[in-house]
Chain A
């Protein structure tokens, strides 16, 4: 060792180690990385420019699809397996049926335009396919898959009756423009659900095309596209709506990106066992554009009421629109009790078409914000069930203004008896709010729910009272009380 030439190197190494190791061991790194939601963002490949690949003359949508399939061989088949094509869910086993059932826009009744059956040409404008004009539509014919509605980037693609391209659409330039779906593609249908901008959801409307961050922090603050959250593989897009989907599956969640321990404040973290993220972070629904809160079909067809798209239309009846509304809060475990054709109603009560399941005693339930859409819609006063009117097309209510005829025609199509006696019953639909997430600075605060002026109806939720002072859902007394039937659900 005495003559080791590089002993000085050893010395330097030892000295540096003695000094630095304790620094790393004992001193916490001041730049400790927190939860990074960006790490969970899906990466989108750069889309190939298709303008030089598409050359032909196209007169029908199907021709374009055929061209697409030359390269994207599996695409149409993949689409044909999804709800965007079938308008039906995967089979779900529920208690009251022996066999699994499929539900979806294709076969359900709602309290907006009521149902697509007998009204296909009008409703299937938003079908990702071509030509669904009646019950004979062949869902196995993949040639009818509409690629353009989701992939058009020219902004000129418009769908018409039965989902066919509208007259005058330049299919070549549309096909050349294709790219990854943007908010415009999804919004074309989803922002206009219910027959117009902002009508249906209460958390999705055309203000999301060019939102500022106060409308939606993700889309406005960070320019998110829909598919950044609704992750898509092989054309299967995640996400579901409780209006048509009855089972808690294929759900998109805040926690796909955000950690559950990101709140610095323990008090807030403790709320996560009880409260959905949306409850605090979507303080109000329909932030900018007013959404339809009530729809009274019973006044439809009258000439003595002045028409105003937000108040009254002869073909549809009377409406109440509201913007920036305070949501209704209820327990929700993701599953839905769905009203199906033929289910009996209490015409004097309120029939909930898609009641959120869950309750204070269900540990999987969280308190969620909802838009509740209330309607007066036709029902059979003899059989006590809701009726399907034919509105669109020949003999439909929108042209004849004859309820009896419309209901008879509709009932024939859905294969239900119609007594000839109809009335109007009150129905509710629940729309859980998940979009239009506010910037965190605008999230709800304690006193928005708790204390004297809180917006929660604690007793209706099954609590003894404000859980701030009466105890939360895990307080034994509350559970016992609820189990004894004093609470709702």
Chain B
């Protein structure tokens, strides 16, 4: 009995000891216990990690095949085939120079094949003798911004890269040996290929560093596995990879706590696309010159919910910057909320043109299971000038107005429709980028570390560490309904050497050989560039600004076997659609655009100097011109008039204003001269005794409508002037003046209509109608009187009377004003107002660029007429003010001339 108990205890003891030992060993090897992350899908079932042969990696020890592992449930082949992120241009590759809108050496519209001067390296096409990047080296250099699959898996003909026959002459199976500069065979069977990397977007903290390190090391097949480093699933031991058995259950499936499969989060997108920062607590800090923060580098866009004032950046006037970097990130939106998978049933939008009229919502949707099996990985996108891949998906994303109601929120904005047609939402809602952005890249020279000379905008020129941000340039962008609207852009210019015919960018290796001998600049270059002979090239020296310097580099490139090396410059516009703001931070002051320094016409600096004197070619069709300023810097000056925009308060046709002013001043001068002569003539002449007769000349209504019209016309002329040249009248609020102008126009119109009715009804209209018979004789007689008789104190040829208040010249003048000028002014004015109400009609009559100058010219004519009109009233009565008095009081003192024949009256 005792022994049995002893044995039992012994057994228990041994078992416990062994258990403890096993536990201890496990505790040693087991990494940090995995925590299921809250953002992960709560439903994702457990699964086994499979290698390319479909064998559990725990068994085979091979790299994880995402296509096999995820492909167990999801149709990964379908996904990879329906993803421009994967394809990157591979399936559309063509011979250099045949890409629409591309450079002479571009071979596709995508990342794989479209050369970019910022990254410079060139994927050499088949058949080139001078090779820059082979496929393998492209993956090493550019794979960090590619999700795998596509060109990292298949050849340009569609063969699996590892199935290609090895050949040292094929850019797809070779790599340039950095030692010799000669191609050697790339062993795809050893390196493996990079499959589409599901983990990169669908796990919460993918190890991008380890992935990129594997790519750069040429361990392509392990890159996707490396993405999981740090999750506790796999570890790196030396160069080898080991799976952690503790992360798997007995069946070889991952334990639930290790499965963090998720919808892509903002950070996942940010790994390739630019700076994202969703942690609102930690102050945002980043290096604005970091090539890896792609969109941030090229545009200054930062996706962060943080207020600028709370960031860790050295921003100018930071304390006042209470706005957030991006309102959508602030409002907890993710990239995928707008850039969703096109068949995601939550976001799916049926083609509106196909929707029958009786439906506002079509509830028929893809089943979630179907969607998860085959989610189309073509993501909804906008239309960026810098990305030419997959244009068939342009504007598939929900644009601003598909979520936001402009109707209810922009009532404060005068001419709402006009503004929202002419301007993209981004123009006012991304008024400024607060991070620096690339301005230019100059590869014609190399800095001592081998990098190009770069300039950034958005920093203080005096203190480069102080970030000022910049205002993007406004250029026309096609809208989804085939119109154009001004939208914000950054312009990145680049200069670089090309050679040969057809042209190719000079390979980096060759360029480096031309510049450096060993680790230092070649002595020939120092002689040519080191002006102050201090043994180093500073930023003022490292610049091709003389033909001599250019010749040195050219000769050195030619000596390396390059044919006709030459400098090319280009300017790439980058669309800006993020970093949106609202409320007081959006542009809402009319003066921003409606003033002499209009935002619409604001130029953007391209560079502080022109390498080789080469003016860069703007990529794309944008109106405007590249100008060199006096200080040698070069700007792009957009021209909005070319797209038929006329900005009141900024645009003015100088010719019209000059003509108008000349006319006005001419009339004024004539009046002064005539009046002066009259004055002196009258002094020389003895005063005339005349008999006066009081006549009730103007009825009370006639006087009322006259003076109302007077004051309204004065206000119209003044407010019109303020609208025309708001900078000269800074006191007045532009929108208020515009509204007053419109209101006065209505009063004028009503007053004119009532007066017309009165004159017609009362028969007084005949006062305005010249008698056809003998009109010219009479007019001539009247003109002669003004030119001669009036100085001699002669009597008026046509005496004013109750029945005939106007002389023939007056009649013809008023007839012209009332029948030509007034209608013209009313119609042009109404059409300008109507540019938002009935834009088609306004546009068909020339639009604002035609209507506005006509309106201005007529306004000048009116102003001139008023001068003349007021002056002529002084000639009408027996004293200079008699005419005005009669229009005030109604009574006129008429001279009695018994001998003068009175015009016949009816």
B72 CB to nearest A CB, Å? 28
CA–CA, A267 to B888, complex, Å?
A: 59
Chain B neighbourhood of A468, CB < 8 A: 332
List chain A residues, Cβ under 8 A from B700: 1, 7
Assembled-state Cα–Cα distance A14/B890 (Å): 16
Do A448 and B280 touch across chains, with their CB atoms under 8 A apart?
yes
Asked if A8 and B889 sit within 8 Å, CB to CB, the answer is: yes
* CB pair B280 A445 closer than 8 Å: yes
Q: Are B711 and A19 in contact (CB under 8 A)?
A: yes
Smallest beta-carbon distance B694→chain A, Å: 10
Q: B699-716: which have CB < 8 Å to A?
A: 700, 703-704, 707-708, 711-712, 715
Taking CB atoms, residues of chain B closer than 8 Å to A452 are 38-39, 265, 278
Closest to B699 in A: A2
A1-54: which residues lie under 8 A (CB-CB) from chain B? 1-2, 7-8, 11, 14-16, 18-19, 22-23, 26-27, 30
Alpha-carbon gap, A424 to B2, bound state (A): 48
**Contact for A30 among B331, B696, B715, B735, CB less than 8 A:** B735
Contact for B324 among A22, A27, A445, A451, CB less than 8 A: A445
Q: Are B305 and A445 in contact (CB under 8 A)?
A: yes
Tell me which residues across on chain B come within 8 A of A7, comparing CB atoms.
700, 889-890
Which residues from 358 to 390 on chain B have a C-beta closer than 8 Å to any C-beta of chain A? none
Q: Is the CB of B744 within 8 A of A19?
A: yes
Closest to A439 in B: B322
CA distance A264 to B310 in the complex (A): 22
Contacts A445-B305, A447-B305, A452-B265 given; indicate if A26 touches B739 (C-beta within 8 A).
yes
Q: Does B330 contact A (CB under 8 A)?
A: yes
A22 touches B38 (CB 8 A): no
Q: Give the distance in Å from the alpha carbon of A446 to the alpha carbon of B733 in the complex.
A: 35
B740, CB-defined interface residue at 8 Å: yes
Q: Contact: B740 with A11, CB < 8 Å?
A: no
Q: Which of A27, A264, A447 contacts B736 (CB 8 A)?
A: A27
- Which residues of the partner chain A approach B280 to less than 8 Å between Cβ atoms? 445, 447-448, 453
Q: Could you tell me which residues of chain B, from 292 to 316, have a CB within 8 Å of some CB in chain A?
A: 305, 307, 309-310
Distance A264 CA – B746 CA, assembled complex (angstroms): 34
Residue B743 at the chain A interface, CB threshold 8 Å? yes
Contact A447 B332 (CB under 8 A): yes
In angstroms, Cα B735 to Cα A453, docked, is: 43
Q: A190 CB to closest chain B CB, in angstroms?
A: 30
Which residues of B lie under 8 Å from residue A15 when comparing CB positions?
704, 707-708, 711
Chain B residues touching A, majority SS: helix
Q: Are A265 and B583 in contact (CB under 8 A)?
A: yes
Give chain B nearest CB distance to A407 CB in angstroms.
44
Residue A450 at the B interface, CB < 8 A? Answer: yes
Closest beta carbon of chain B to A264's beta carbon, Å: 6
**Chain B 583-613 near chain A by CB (<8 Å), digits 1 or 0:** 1100000000000000000000000000000
Q: How far, in whole Å, are A206 and B329 apart by their CA atoms in the complex?
A: 38
Evaluate contact between A22 and B889: CB separation under 8 angstroms: no
The complex places the Cα of A267 from the Cα of B39 at a distance, in Å, of 24
| Residue A441 CB within 8 A of the other chain | yes
Known: A7-B700, A264-B583. A18 touches B747 (CB 8 A): yes
Task: Report whether B332 and A446 are in contact in the complex, using a CB–CB cutoff of 8 Å.
Answer: yes
Report yes or no: A11 in contact with B703, Cβ–Cβ below 8 A. yes
Question: A453 with B744: in contact, given A8-B889, A441-B322, A468-B332 (CB under 8 Å)?
Answer: no
Contact check, A27 vs B703: say whether CB atoms are below 8 A apart: no
B449 CB to closest chain A CB (Å) equals 38
The verdict on B279 contacting chain A, using a C-beta distance below 8 Å, is yes
A18 touches B265 (CB 8 A): no
CA distance A358 to B307 in the complex (A): 33
Q: Which residues of A contact B707 (CB under 8 A)?
A: 11, 15
Is B281 an interface residue when CB atoms closer than 8 A count as contact?
A: yes
Q: Which residues of B contact A440 (CB under 8 A)?
A: 322
Q: Which residue of B lies closest to A450 (CB)?
A: B332
Please indicate the chain B residues that have their CB under 8 angstroms from the CB of A16 in the complex.
Answer: 711
User: What size tier do the contact residues of chain A reach?
Assistant: 20 to 34
Chain B: CB-nearest residue to A468: B332
Provide the bound-state CA to CA distance between A446 and B889, in Å.
69
Q: Which residues of B contact A18 (CB under 8 A)?
A: 708, 747
Do B583 and A22 have beta carbons less than 8 Å apart? no
Contact (Cβ within 8 A) B309 A27: no
Give the CA-CA distance A468 to B337 in the complex, in Å: 14
Contacts of B584 in A (CB 8 A): 264
Contacts of B855-892 to chain A: CB distance below 8 A: 888-891
A23–B740 CA distance with the chains assembled, in angstroms: 7
> B319: nearest residue on chain A (CB-CB)?
A441
Known contacts A7-B890, A15-B704; is-contact A453 B711 (Cβ 8 Å): no
Query: Are the CB atoms of A11 and B704 closer together than 8 Å?
Result: yes
Question: Inside 8 A of B735's CB, which chain A residues have their CB?
Answer: 30
A283 → chain B closest CB, angstroms: 10
Partner of A19, one of B281, B324, B330, B712: B712
- Identify which of B696, B712, B740 contacts A27 (C-beta below 8 A): B740
Residues of A near B704 (CB, < 8 A) are 11, 14-15
> Which of B329, B735, B743 counts the most A-chain CB atoms under 10 A from its CB?
B743
Residues of A contacting B281 with CB < 8 Å? 453
| Contact assessment for A19 and B703 in the assembled complex, using a CB-CB cutoff below 8 Å | no
- Chain B stretch 221-249: residues in CB contact (< 8 A) with chain A: none
Q: Are A2 and B696 in contact (CB under 8 A)?
A: yes
- The CA of A442 and the CA of B310, in the complex, are separated in Å by 9
CA distance A451 to B304 in the complex (A): 13
**Cβ-neighbour of A8 out of B39, B582, B739, B888 (below 8 A):** B888
Give every chain A residue within 8 A of B708 (Cβ-Cβ): 14-15, 18-19
CB distance from B204 to the nearest CB of A (A): 9
Bound-state CA distance A248–B265 (Å) is: 44
Q: Give the residue name and chain of the A residue nearest to B408 (CB).
A: A266
0 or 1 for each of B715-732: is its CB under 8 Å from A? (1 = yes): 100000000000000000
Known: A27-B743, A30-B733. Contact between A446 and B330, CB under 8 A? yes
B309 touches A441 (CB 8 A): yes
On chain B, the residues within 8 Å of A14 by CB distance are 704, 708
Indicate with 1 or 0, residue by residue over A361-375, a CB within 8 angstroms of chain B CB atoms.
000000000000000
A31 to B, closest residue via Cβ: B733
CA distance A18 to B748 in the complex (A): 11
Nearest chain B CB to A261's CB is how many angstroms away?
15
B-chain residues with CB within 8 Å of residue A451 when the two chains form the complex: 278, 332
Bound-state CA distance A315–B36 (Å) is 45
Tell me, rounded to whole Å, the shortest Cβ–Cβ distance linking B702 to chain A.
11
- CA A14 to CA B707, docked complex, whole Å: 10
B33-46 CB mask vs A (1 if < 8 Å, else 0) is 00000110000000
Tell me the nearest residue of chain B to A22, going by C-beta. Answer: B743
Contacts of B696 in A (CB 8 A): 2
Which A residues lie within 8 Å of B278 (CB)? 447, 451-453
**B323's closest neighbor in chain A, by CB?**
A441
- Name the A residues within 8 Å of B747 (CB-CB): 18-19, 22
A162 to chain B, nearest CB (A): 47
User: Inside 8 A of B331's CB, which chain A residues have their CB?
Assistant: 267, 446
- Of chain B, the residue at the smallest CB distance from A16 is B711
Taking a contact as CB atoms under 8 Å apart, the answer to whether A23 and B743 are in contact is yes
By beta carbon, the residue of chain A nearest B583 is A264
Q: Mark interface residues in A143-180 (1 if CB within 8 Å of B CB, else 0).
A: 00000000000000000000000000000000000000
CB-defined A-B contacts under 8 Å, sample of 30: A2-B890, A7-B889, A7-B890, A14-B708, A18-B708, A18-B747, A19-B711, A19-B747, A22-B743, A22-B746, A23-B743, A26-B739, A27-B736, A30-B733, A30-B735, A264-B584, A265-B583, A267-B331, A440-B322, A445-B307, A446-B305, A446-B330, A446-B331, A447-B305, A447-B329, A448-B280, A453-B278, A453-B279, A453-B280, A468-B332
Across the A-B interface, the 7 shortest Cβ-Cβ residue pairs: A441-B322, A451-B332, A447-B305, A27-B739, A450-B332, A447-B280, A15-B708
B contact residues vs A (CB 8 Å cutoff): 38-39, 265, 278-281, 305, 307, 309-310, 322, 324, 329-332, 582-584, 696, 700, 703-704, 707-708, 711-712, 715, 733, 735-736, 739-740, 743-744, 746-747, 888-891
| Extra pairs beyond A15-B707, A468-B332 (4, CB < 8 Å) | A7-B890, A447-B305, A452-B265, A453-B280
